[in-house]
A and B are shown apart, each in its own frame.
Chain A
Amino acid sequence: MKKYQRAIALLMIALVALPVFAGGGKEAAATAAGTPDDPVTIDLWFGASMTEAGMIPEDWVGYDIIRNELGIDLKLTMLPSSESDQDVKVQAAGAGNALPDLFQVRRPVLVNLVNQGLVADVTDCFDKMPVRTAQQYDEASKQNTTIDGRIYGFASPGMIVRNEGLLVRKDWLDNLGLEVPTTTEEFLEVARAFTFDDPDGNGIDDTYGYGAFVETDANLKGYPGSRLWPIMGAFGVEGLWCFDAPNQGLNIYKPEFYDFMVFLKEMCDEGIIDPNWLSYKKDDFRAAWKQGRFGMMYEQNAAYAAEANYAPFDKNFPDGEWQIIDAITGPEGHAAIGAYDMNYRIYAVSQKAVDAGKLDKICELLEWMSGDEGYYLLGWGQEGVNYVLDENGIPVAGDLGDNAFTGSKGQVYTQLRNMVFYNSDVELTSRYPTYTCAVSGKEMSALKALREMQGMKWTNAIGSSTLPTPSADVQRFYDQSLAEFLSGAKELTPENWAAFIDQFNKIGGKVWNDEGVAQLEAEGLVRQ
């Protein structure tokens, strides 16, 4: 028993003494020469292209190439998939002065880190990366990471913008002898005909004019969300914020927003919008159009036209055809498909890395990534292993099976592709290949759909993502009140609308609007 006691006592002393060693070991000084034999270690926290697929394997050929050609020992850490989780992880590391050398970060967090002196000024780095700068960093991108006149991060283009559009069932229009709607009146006529005139000719009253679901956020898409944008655009209230003087501020304050609400409520009352739209989730909505439930909708290019997404519709309706149409014009002449903002993926360099003399190596690494070798390796993997080039020089999966960049084994080698992709033609052609539908034999291309959608009338709302967001209470009140008007729980009258705006102002809506307007004006985003 005595031995037993001693062992436990020693263990407990060791546990109690742990904090004594809280100083940790000293970090190795960065004295590496930056050669293959003595490489500089660079810690990179990156946003993976597909976090759920897993980490880049340790046998990735890129590690050797980067070591041999650049003298860099690259240590990769995949950031969590959720942006809020990424923020927590980066901020915690910042607080512990444990930021990696190069890391992806969102702008609000970047501002905090810059204020704490933890992020390096990279204003002079762009000249060291001519290829990458030409591809990725234009003036708007540099502006996105500029704080007090200095640039504190490399902002690369994020997701593709203006990639959604208004679609109408052309086969239904043809069946009913209708033309593509161009105004709100024609839009209503078509919606009524699609609802009541049996456009699919099955003899059953099972179709609706328009289909949607509530897709909102607190920056760009206010309630009832982007799926109603083509209708909102006809009233000039697409997007959460208005950037045009003298109405700069929240769109909900514009009288046209009430007109839009009346229009939408009439659609609801007439039953020409799928009545499930207020409760649909994205998947329900997508299952519904593939089942031929409605004849007009607002959809994303790939969700509509990519092979796997279009296949069920093609199977159900081999003769069916969606047509992308331009924005409908409203009573005052407004027309817009929607509002768009630019988004960026920001990579920042820690001050610690600069102090350790790693900044030049980081620039070298980024420049190499954007050169031919890095671009293809990070974007698609190894030629012949993960991709092959087609006759047009576009990387394709070919017959590479699971090892292809689209396969379950190959895709992990492209986890860094977001660091090199900039929505070039090569990327988009590779991402959205033209294909032939299995049942109808039609030729489809999500890229063609994208180009068509991008060519429509869009409203510039660049800067929306940097504007203030409301408190949870204000947001809830805003969303719930509009939903009550649309569902009929609250009667939509000018008096009730005025009362709603009044109450909205009282609970914090006005403060939110005033802060937004002040920021719009301060950043020169108001259009005269």
Chain B
Amino acid sequence: MSRKQQHLKPQMQNRKVKLTAADHAFNVIVNIFMVVILIAIILPLWSTITLSFRPVDFLGSNLDGMFLPPWKWSTAAYESLLGNDGFLMAFINSFKILIGGVVCALFLTIPMAYVLSVQSLPGRKIINMIVIIPYVFNVGMIPAYLLVKDIGLINHLPAVFLPGAISTYNCIIMRQFFVGIPNELKESARIDGCTELQVLFRIVLPLSKAIVMTIGLYYGVSFWNDFFNAMLYLNDSYLNPLPILLRNILIGSGMNENLDVAAFANAPINAIKAASVFMSAIPMVIAYPFIQKYFTKGTLLGSVKG
């Protein structure tokens, strides 16, 4: 008897479950549906990848391009991008923003979420409300710009991530996770003489890897993709992160399409666009599988405890 069958009642063991015609039909429909979903996901991805490898002398529709054999592919778009100093600089700037942003955001969000999770905190409801109000009623672009300008952050990379270093949404998710950690653990730590900081760093955080990784990923994705703050606060082009360059390529190349002069002239401009989109997605694509195992646990636990 297989281990799978051991939990079945004796009369059910060693008996094949007979599927009815309706069950078969249902399975077929579900499978077809899933295949359609899969195609819907893969098709644009495949289109972008093949477009990025399109040779400069390719002539045909996008559909033709998707079935172009790999031995006719060209890496000119990637060579152009990687050979462009601006692209590498933008990549480095994006990494600086990513690392600085995630570290800063977690450093600020974790204590904030922990404090809000402590039931005995005096005025907890009022503090919670103060935290939530700006989430509902956004302060707006101009006051944020004035603040960033007045504290001297204009034209500095931290201007991109400091204004959004504590996301109320992420903070609330993390708070809910902390609330879900048994109070007895914290109480016993306190009885043993731990201060609140020790409770946070020695008891709560080791049990919260899932939520820290998940929220870190949320922050990482948002900082990596942040275009608006960079556009608004960074004047020096040498500080521009990848999303700015990407947008310049996508829009600028369209404006210059009728010139013989082009920033990346060795490859079709659409291949350059696709390659830049693909390359800018690579870090996140790499990061996801490593964080995925924490992901479901982190988000779901936070969502059901309150």
Contact = CB atoms under 8 A, between A and B. Distances in A.
B260 interface: yes
Contacts of B138: none
A312 B247 contact: no
A316 interface: yes
Given A4-B197, A406-B260, A55 B238 contact: yes
A182 interface: no
Interface string B96-115: 00000000000010010000
B146 interface: yes
A80 B246 CA distance: 11
A19 B260 contact: no
A112 interface: no
B259 A431 contact: yes
Interface residues on A, range: 35 or more
A426 interface: no
B261 interface: yes
B146 A77 contact: no
A255 interface: no
Interface in B68-89: 80, 83-86
A306 B61 contact: no
A54 B85 contact: yes
A408 interface: yes
Contacts of A28: none
A5, A19, A287: which has the most chain B beta carbons within 10 Å? A287
B188 interface: no
Interface string B138-176: 000110011101111010000000000000000000000
Contacts of B231: 80, 85, 88-89
B197, B231, B236, B258: which has the most chain A beta carbons within 10 Å? B258
Contacts of B61: 284, 287
B263 interface: yes
Given A312-B59, A316-B59, A5 B195 contact: yes
Given A54-B86, A55-B237, A408-B84, A23 B150 contact: yes
A300 interface: yes
Contacts of A18: 151
Contacts of A81: 247-248, 251-252, 255
Interface string A290-314: 1100000000111100111100100
B151 A24 contact: yes
B142 A80 contact: no
A55 B245 CA distance: 11
B294 interface: no
A29 interface: no
Contacts of B85: 54
Interface in A16-58: 18-19, 21-25, 45, 48, 50-55
A246 interface: no
Contact of A52 (B142, B154, B245): B245
A95 B60 CA distance: 49
A12, A93, A308: which has the most chain B beta carbons within 10 Å? A308
A78 B84 contact: no
B235 interface: yes
A18 B80 CA distance: 43
B23 interface: no
A19 B151 contact: yes
B59 A408 contact: no
A8 interface: yes
A116 interface: no
Nearest to A49: B256
Contacts of A309: 258
B244 interface: yes
A21 B151 contact: yes
B151 A92 contact: no
A55 B252 CA distance: 13
A88 B232 contact: yes
B182 to A, nearest CB: 24
Contacts, number: 132
A312 B57 contact: yes
Contacts of A1: 195, 197-198
A80 B85 CA distance: 18
Interface string A51-80: 111110000000000000000000001101
Nearest to A76: B237
B252 A50 contact: yes
Contact of B152 (A24, A85, A303): A24
Nearest to B201: A4
A453 to B, nearest CB: 13
A93 B149 CA distance: 9
B256 A95 contact: no
A290 to B, nearest CB: 6
B265 interface: yes
B264 A51 contact: no
B249 interface: yes
A411 B261 contact: yes
A76 to B, nearest CB: 8
A413 interface: no
A21 B151 CA distance: 6
B86 A53 contact: yes
B253 A52 contact: yes
Nearest to A84: B251
Contacts of B147: 19, 22
Contacts of B238: 55
A101 to B, nearest CB: 13
A301 B259 CA distance: 10
A283 interface: yes
Ordered nearest first, which 5 A-B pairs have the shortest CB separation? A55-B237, A54-B86, A53-B263, A302-B258, A52-B252
Given A1-B198, A52-B86, A312-B59, 18 more contacts: A8-B197, A21-B152, A24-B151, A50-B262, A50-B263, A51-B252, A53-B86, A80-B248, A88-B232, A92-B141, A92-B232, A95-B145, A302-B259, A405-B261, A406-B261, A406-B265, A408-B80, A431-B260
30 contacts: A5-B197, A8-B111, A19-B151, A22-B151, A50-B256, A52-B248, A52-B263, A53-B86, A54-B237, A80-B231, A81-B247, A82-B251, A85-B231, A88-B232, A95-B142, A96-B145, A284-B61, A287-B60, A291-B60, A303-B257, A306-B258, A306-B259, A307-B260, A309-B258, A316-B59, A406-B261, A408-B84, A408-B264, A411-B261, A431-B259
